[in-house]
Amino acid sequence: MKFFLDTADVDAIRELNDLGMVDGVTTNPSLILKSGRDITEVTKEICDMVAGPVSAEVVAEKADDMIREGKVLAEIAPNITIKVPLTWDGLKACKVLSDDGHMVNVTLCFSAAQAILAAKAGATFISPFIGRLDDIHLDGMDLIADIREIYDNYGYDTQILAASIRSVNHIIEAGKIGADVITAPPSVIKSMASHPLTDKGLAQFNADWAKTGQKIGK
């Protein structure tokens, strides 16, 4: 499973990238706003840091405008993935941009039917939103499973990029189903290292070691 970070916080990306935990990055207009930085500047810095795909999202709603914006974003760096919404115009833009050799991430996917269309339009990645489906009392993992089954049935090359990840359990379940990629906030990735039994065991080891009165090294 590939790990993408869903953030435009360069310090957070750097910390995890230095540990070899980052296969790519996804950004969106909300994350750019949160960073407080110019989209071109911060995206270029991220692209220079991370070897894998970096998703930069168009904001236009019409296909021709999406294509124009996508080509501008693609000039930032070779590893840019152009992010378009799963609308009819977004699918049109996906087809043109992918035919031109650009990586395309089709985002805001909430049904298997949408995912089929994205694959046929040449999407590099499809981004089903797990957490937002959970918010309306549906099981987002059911969507991941449906897309995985359909893509495997027909050999679609589009990678399933599980998005709107809210918890470690989301990551584990997406991995069990076979999502190719997950994108999650750095805080969720870091929380994967935490377990109460690890903390309890470490506390016991430290207490026992203190009783020995020993030191390792000088």
**Could you read off the pLDDT tens digit of each residue along the chain, which spans 218 residues?**
999 999 999 999 999 999 999 999 999 999 999 999 999 999 999 999 999 999 999 999 999 999 999 999 999 999 999 999 999 999 999 999 999 999 999 999 999 999 999 999 999 999 999 999 999 999 999 999 999 999 999 999 999 999 999 999 999 999 999 999 999 999 999 999 999 999 999 999 999 999 999 999 97
Amino acid at 216: I
From residue 158, give the alpha-carbon distance in Å to each of 25, 139, 152, 154: 17, 22, 10, 11
pTM of the model: 0.94
CB 158 within 8 A of CB 126: yes
**Candidate list 71, 83, 176, 218, residue with the active-site label:** 83
Amino acid at 118: A
**Residue 83: active-site member:** yes
| CATH homologous superfamily of 2-212 | Aldolase class I (3.20.20.70)
Q: Which tokens belong to 34?
A: 């949160």
CB 45 within 8 A of CB 54: no
